[in-house]
Amino acid sequence: MLSEVEAKELLSFLTLDTRPDVKGQATEYILGLSGNRDGCRYLQTKPDFLKALVTLTTDPSIAIVKDCYHSLINLSADETMHQPLIKDSDFLPMLFKNLLDPEFMFADRICTILTNLSRHVKTCKEVFKAMQEQEIGLAQIVDIFCTEGYNKQVSLHYLGPLISNLTQLPETRHFILDKERCVVQRILPYTQYQASTIRRGGVIGTLRNCCFDHGFISDKSHHEWLLSDAVDILPFLLLPLAGPEELSDEENEGLPVDLQYLPEDKEREEDPDIRKMLIETMILLTATKVGRQILKAKNVYAIMREFHNWEKEPHVAAACEKLIQVLIGDEPEPGMENLLEVEIPEEVEVKLKDMDAKEQEQLEKDQEDLLNPDKSQQCAGIVRMM
């Protein structure tokens, strides 16, 4: 790394008044540092460099601004850099100000930085606090997300994961689940947004996080409201998992209308992580008695049975098996109908965690076996390719 003398000299080049070619070389060097772990650890000890990067995001040179934002993306991807970054009182306000500008050409990079910073609850709270201090409401963020072409220069797809991260906080979940605002209904169509896996995954992550809340809205629980005709969340969760398999007339008639008699060219969600999140969302919905009753009545089992036969990813198949077990299993004993509220004895919880760890270890082994077949299988593959 740099000596103190070299660091001081480099810092002197990271100013708005520095000659563009010299300044460009300096920002390129910082970008290189930010791209590896040791470089990030070094910059963590140099708050003046971080402040200089933030200042240079206002530079007249697009190339220099681009380097600065790329460096900030790299740094924000490292959890140990989160606190040093947000300590700069100008940093988060600058990000939000530019994010809201419909003509700002680096707004996508800002979305990525904010998404990185909001991954963990502690800094997520700081991001949310900065929004409030800037008088930026969640409604404004959702409006931008749902407005195609809000910024004609960039896609803003990473607003999806940002909203998903913010739903770690109860304030955001309460906002999303406010039935008077109709936020859920506005974002549901993006569960099938083919132009971007990032946007699609962000919305499904948001829905999953909101399903952890099972409280009441007036006379209905959140789960009952989400599954009611007012929202009708189930087809949006189930359709991406449905394939072209032919079901019996009886099975089709038990399904939601949008899932009945699907065409022969029907394709499933291509991203395994998104498929897993969709299943996890339905698992959460089955944690309440009303949720289980509705999913069973809507014949979700028929779709998941065919999905399980099709799914090749072990971790997704395991999630599917958990959902199927709930759908075909008996109802819990009286007093234990809401699985999210059941108190588990400490010794049982330890055993369950141990079982989960072993299951995860086996899934990782299965995944490795899929990625690294034995030599005979490799040879067979080569022959088929020829």
For residue range 231-285, what is the model confidence (pLDDT) as tens digits?
A: 999 999 999 999 999 999 999 999 999 999 999 999 999 999 999 999 999 999 9
**Mean of pLDDT over the chain:** 88
Q: Examine the pLDDT at 384 and tell me if it is beyond 80.
A: no
Residues 6+ apart with CB under 8 A from 118: 124, 127, 128, 162, 165, 166, 168
Structure tokens that stand for 122 in this block? 């502690």
d(CA 110, CA 348): 44
End-to-end Cα, the chain, rounded Å: 50
Work out the percent of the chain whose per-residue pLDDT is above 70: 84
Question: Which one, of 130, 212, 202, lies nearest residue 177 by Cα?
Answer: 212
- Rounded mean pLDDT, 117-133: 95
The answer to whether 40 and 75 have CB atoms below 8 angstroms apart is yes
- For 132, other C-beta atoms within 10 Å of its C-beta total 11
The answer to whether 316 and 279 have CB atoms below 8 angstroms apart is yes
- Rounded mean pLDDT, 323-333: 85
Q: Please report the pLDDT score of residue 351 as a whole number.
A: 53
Amino acid at 138: L
Q: Please report the pLDDT score of residue 330 as a whole number.
A: 81
Q: What is the pTM of this model?
A: 0.85
d(CA 85, CA 194): 34
pLDDT band at 89 (very low <50, low <70, confident <90, very high): confident
Work out the percent of the chain whose per-residue pLDDT is above 90: 80
Question: Which one, of 34, 37, 32, 12, lies nearest residue 22 by Cα?
Answer: 12
pLDDT band at 213 (very low <50, low <70, confident <90, very high): confident
Phi/psi for 220 (5° steps) reads -125, 145
pLDDT single digits (tens) 17-47: 999 999 999 999 999 999 999 999 999 999 9
Question: What is the SS3 string spanning 325-355?
Answer: HHHHCCCCCCCCCCCCCCCCCHHHHHHHHHH
The answer to whether 69 and 59 have CB atoms below 8 angstroms apart is no
In whole angstroms, how far apart are CA 257 and each of 28, 252, 327? 56, 9, 20
pLDDT band at 129 (very low <50, low <70, confident <90, very high): very high
- Rounded mean pLDDT, 340-359: 53
